[in-house]
Structure 1
């Protein structure tokens, strides 16, 4: 980007050094494997002039800082001893999970999503105007660098809480700033290339081709590493998309347009139910939005790899905090999810673990909504 070259369609040739070569850039496809939005690439651009080893250590440190921020947000929000003990146990489990280790090893950025939402929950809990305003600005940052997070916001703005207007003003303020920044930096064409590249990848994976476009040496600082050579155990990723897995096991191809229409209908239905419930808890709104966000990801044809699980850390912490308030069945689902997460020898263990976790979340939210409605009716009587 510093050389005004589109990062999504740039192709290496002999005139460029092969350091950190993206394998897809040597493949017979138009776009390459960069899928991060221009906003995130802009933030990472200063690292381009660093030595590779320095980038590795710095990015690993950033990931652990954000891991700590995710933990701190929930530890601050839930003050009871039981909740904090459960949150601490969950933090230790997640820290040693294969999904987190793989995220650090591969230098991913999915840790940003749970960290910002966790800090948002902590700020909103304070119930002070300026903190809620800051939370709104943080949400704008999240959408700027993770556009899919937009699915979470309607639940927050439809919450029956006096702070929602302040939150909305903060989001609009932050969104306006980043929109102006995009125009001032003349990055509009990068966003167009990003959206076009996303569409190219959707078309590619819907066409039933192999997930790996082609094989090529991974080249780091001039050292060649064979892609099929010995690699750390946690290098191996599991694809957790529902329909990708279904196609691989049964050969059944589901029409993606029908899937998208169904997802849109379900999203609007959940949003309507949330609005009718007149809920007041921002944290529950975030969790409802995260459920829809997750549902979209697992039904998307673009592979959802193991390290995407880091985005669900926020759900793990939330359910850990609410463990003592949950029904026996929800507790059972949550414990089964934790056990399945570490059973790597089982097929689709990660997909099963995710589904058990999200099932426990949605059942808890439904039960809580029913209790609140019954309490409201009782107060009226």
Structure 2
């Protein structure tokens, strides 16, 4: 099977993409980049498969006023860059598959309507994930598009990890612990099986730490529990999201502070987390560079909550054989990894300071009771693999 597959990961103000040539089922990266600053300072950056800059250009807000316009511009530029080759399929990251989808699905009208129905479950992400799908369906209705879900990976977790302590009828209606970042966990767990198979079969906690952050407990590569749940607000504090919160605090804000549900939602998604704690920034890099006590407090809270989550997930697993860091903060912030492991010192986890500073693949000290690793994630590669496999089961991707 030969073709060119586009992977799209659309966010609130950017559209990340990666273009792969697929030969005999094996994807090779051709181009990658992002349309960023949508709605403020739109810019397109494109690199080739070796990481060399291919194109950099900026646009006015009149040219790119919204995500739909950005997708049109991006589609035009990509077609120009691939020349005579034809994009033969598209794989999309879709955050929420609800209770319906436990695996990738070929998108049609009915599927799209169902995915639109999940927008209230992930208001920050789902709408933006679906915008590129609609644009591409208008431009090329014949183009196969595949939705790959962040929630799907967690569908195999035990029922006790899947439920809230709420009336059963609500669970039957879909109020349950879905979990997110599943495409990342799927990639990292698969990569771990390749580089450390003896560890991958054991009890592993993966910490996906980025502007959105969560952790997942796995045994033999299978999910057992995760910190995010019904929405991507739950769990540890994030860049601008609150993380776990006493539901009574939400009731207080509505009943006694006079805030509307939409105002509370905006605050919890956009004004909380590291930004809310520090009053400075939701970016860990900025907080690490600051000597303000508020910055230090925000990082202390973040690292403490992550360490607490590791400990809680180890309870689910009955122990811990490996702690794995991934995503932007997990892969690139040695001081954060150091603080988290230090808080877990009572468990016998020990960090090799030099290996941690160097960002080595394995960063545990010889005396550590469990391995500590850094495994870079690749959600796009997971998506293209799912897209190719699904289309191979239905109709082959056309020759480019």
TM-score range for the pair, normalised by the shorter chain length:
under 0.3
Structure with the higher fraction of residues in helix conformation: 1
Structure 1 length normalisation: TM-score?
0.27
The TM-score with structure 2 as length reference comes to 0.26
Larger relative contact order (Cα-Cα within 8 Å, sequence gap ≥ 6): 1
